[in-house]
Amino acid sequence: MRVRQVLRDGYYRGSRPPITTLHIYESGIVSKPMDTCVRIFNPLHLEVVRVFDPATLHRLSDILRGFPAEFAENNKTAFIHSGIYPPHLPPQIQQVRDLCYSYQVGGEYLATHRLDALRSTIRRLLRLATRTSSFGDTLAYAQAISLAQIIRLLVCNDTSEDQVERGNEDMWALTHKLWQHAPIQLPSTLSPWQAWIFSESVRRTIMVCNILLAVHSSLKRGYAMHSLCVEALPFDVRTHLWDAETEEEWEVGASRTTSPSLATLSDFAASQRVVSCGSRFEDLLAQAFER
């Protein structure tokens, strides 16, 4: 990966779509108002132009394309965890799960019909996402839309360019809300396991959205704009805890780690240069953020 330009003033044509204003008036996660949430410093104009080599781009695309099928089978993937949505997945995620399943089993049969349904679902979810009342709802919409956009951009290769770019822009704006309005504290009603899953889900959703847009831009234009501030996101290096099926299993895994668990994405990617046995999600991050 080569870094071509550091810092920019104004909009770099063909880059990741600029942030748009989504009028999302949210009252908080469960009971916490969003206007009491911590603001994460986000220097929007600190960006670099990155060019992935063909092998890296192929690997990133392959990992991302696997998420919809994985979610259709398990109700869980690298950035969506059913543990924060008991007892049932929220409607917006269920709708996208149905689309994931249809693309997994459908092949070329009724491909045009499925694409129309996908476009319609994305438009509807983006519209409804502007009316959410809590941070948790915003997270669910961001996850559902990101998963649907993976299908649209990397699986079915939607050729409706204007709709695709508009969807990308709105998806990033919605995901940026997660960045801006991350809660200072989570409700005390959440168990340690649920609180960890929720926090990790927010971080992973931001990461996956950013990587997806970078991959799509690279496939389309040959380069991608990358926000430097994303590399400062904290990331829990205990990725095996994501796979815990129960709180007891999670507690056992967490108790085995005594060293600091949070690292920035840039530090994590650097450490992975000497590690070759990580998960596909770890591979995704290492490949996407490697310098």
Segment 192-240, tens digit of pLDDT: 999 999 999 999 999 999 999 999 999 999 999 887 788 888 888 899 9
Residue 45 counted as domain residue: no
Cα dihedral across residues 271, 246, 186, 178: positive or negative: positive
Q: Average pLDDT over the chain, rounded to whole?
A: 81
**pLDDT for position 257:** 78
Residue 235, judged by CB atoms within 10 A of its CB (0-12, 13-18, 19+), counts as buried
Choose from 32-46, 184-198, 267-281 the range with maximum mean pLDDT: 184-198
Q: Radius of gyration of the chain from Cα atoms?
A: 18
Residue 117 counted as domain residue: yes
- Average pLDDT (237-252) is 92
- Confidence band (pLDDT; 50, 70, 90) for 243? very high
| Residue-wise pLDDT tens digits, 134-188 | 999 999 999 999 999 999 999 987 888 888 999 999 999 998 888 888 888 888 8
User: Which of 24-38, 69-83, 123-137, 150-164 shows the lowest mean pLDDT across its residues?
Assistant: 24-38
Q: Are 80 and 71 in contact (CB under 8 A)?
A: yes
With tokens 């699986």, the residue in question is 155
**pLDDT for position 31:** 33
Higher pLDDT, 42 or 232: 232
CA nearest 214: which of 260, 171, 178, 256?
Answer: 171
With tokens 């694409």, the residue in question is 115
Decide if pLDDT at 41 tops 50: no
**pLDDT for position 275:** 56
CA dist., res. 149 & res. 98, Å (int): 14
Residue 226 counted as domain residue: yes
Q: Are 82 and 75 in contact (CB under 8 A)?
A: yes
- Average pLDDT (11-33) is 36
Residue 232, judged by CB atoms within 10 A of its CB (0-12, 13-18, 19+), counts as middle
Enclosing domain of residue 259: 2-39+51-289
**pLDDT for position 158:** 83
**pLDDT for position 247:** 93
Residue 193 counted as domain residue: yes
CA nearest 90: which of 79, 101, 81?
Answer: 81
| Domain tally, the chain | 1
Q: Are 222 and 159 in contact (CB under 8 A)?
A: no
Residue 46 counted as domain residue: no
**pLDDT for position 109:** 67
Residue 44 counted as domain residue: no
CA nearest 30: which of 198, 174, 176?
Answer: 198
